[in-house]
Amino acid sequence: MRQTIRLGRIAGIPVGVHWSVLVIMLLLADGLAATVLPAAAPRQTVTAYWVAGAATAGAFLACLLAHELAHAFVARHYGITVRRITLWLLGGVSELDGEPPTPRADLLIALAGPVTSVACGALAAGGAVAAQAAGLGRLAVAGLLWLATINAVLAAFNLLPGAPLDGGRVLRAIVWRVRGSRAAGARAAAYTGGLLGTLLVAAGFLEVVLARNVSGIWLALVGLFLSWAAGAEQRTTAVTELLTGATVADIVHTVPVCGYENQTVEAFVRSVASRSSHRQFPVVTIDGRVLGTVSLRGLAQVPAPARATVRLDTLAVPVRGDQLLHTDQALTDALRVTATGRLIPVVDPAGNLAGVLDSADLARTVELAALGIPPGAGDDRPDVDAEPPPRIGLG
């Protein structure tokens, strides 16, 4: 089962929804149709409640998407590429390919989402007033008022000053501006995010125990998520500080193990793959440009009799630009790419293969940096794919 369902593109940005959103939307529509709308607009048909509930839930999903698009558009304004937008259980996330260049950019990107939620809420409230004046019925008014309220709540919650909420990003930008350090801002936001998560867990627990209200479980779950996300933010900040100033060239394997486009599977396996510790390999053209990658698993799917004639260029999986690293790229950028666990081709300014990098290389670099050894300074280990030294006989 695919985790994310792709909806398409908006202004060139891929948009998808996690399967959990569909479950939440169904539960939300059910709650609106069974409880909220009947209380606000009694004596309507069951069908009317369900239609209004589904429409209101769908409008709320559109508001969540607008919230994320606002983040994305402001990020683009500051030259940051937006990889994708994904809506999921607790809202949405805009995946940015890079960090804001200044505290001001960080602040405006963070505020764009809550401001949009407030605008959506105001639009819904205005729609409720207009619906009432036009005599469209209490059901339409009730749905619009609920939409206005939930957007206001969403904006207020997102502005709480703790990572990974938008308010945490606002706090990061302010501390960054005052202290002149992005890392200091990130640490402050992560700390308050962890504290906020703990408070929400405690509040949810007390709501269940003292008020006998099971909705406290949801509050506690949100708190647990915030605590986990804040911890992840702290770890990422610590790693980023260790790698600041280093480039990919500092740790890349400059003698890459690769295949050539005109090599057959049999020749490549015999001369390269069987002598390497890697499971995935870049495939390059004759002039050194990266064509794609092949894996041992993919090569094994080629029938044995055909391996002597099938060439690597027919099997290579194309590599997108965001799946490559450049020698002059900041090493912190490699954190995102190597998180996939795959071997990442590294290219030089001319676009030719300069080496390879994987998550193990980066993990080793981080651990050495924590011991005071800067990236690349301790990298005098022998290449695992190089020819072994000759054996010396003992008689």
95, containing H or E segment: strand 91-97
Q: What is the DSSP string of 232-277?
A: HHHHHHHHHHHHTT-BGGGT-BSS---EETT-BHHHHHHHTGGG-S
Taking the CA of residue 150 as centre, how many other CA atoms within 13 Å lie in the half-sphere pointing to its CB? 18
Q: Answer for the pair 137, 144: CB distance below 8 angstroms, yes or no.
A: no
Q: Is 71 annotated as a binding residue?
A: yes
15, containing H or E segment: strand 13-18
Q: Answer for the pair 88, 21: CB distance below 8 angstroms, yes or no.
A: yes
Helix axes 216-243, 182-210, angle to 10 degrees: 160
Q: Answer for the pair 286, 260: CB distance below 8 angstroms, yes or no.
A: yes
Q: Is 348 annotated as a binding residue?
A: no
Q: Is 253 annotated as a binding residue?
A: no
User: One of 68, 207, 233, 266 is an active-site residue; which one?
Assistant: 68
250-273 in b/e form (b: 16+ CB < 10 A) is bbbbeebbbbbbebbbbbbbeebb
Catalytic (active site) residue 367? no
Pick from 193, 279, 241, 222: nearest CA to 375: 241
Report residue 256: phi and psi, to 5°: -70, 145
**CA-CA distance, 154 to 167, in Å (whole number)?**
12
Q: Answer for the pair 355, 282: CB distance below 8 angstroms, yes or no.
A: no
Residue 350 is classified by DSSP as T
Residues carrying an active site annotation: 68
Residues belonging to the binding site for Zn(2+) are: 67, 71, 166
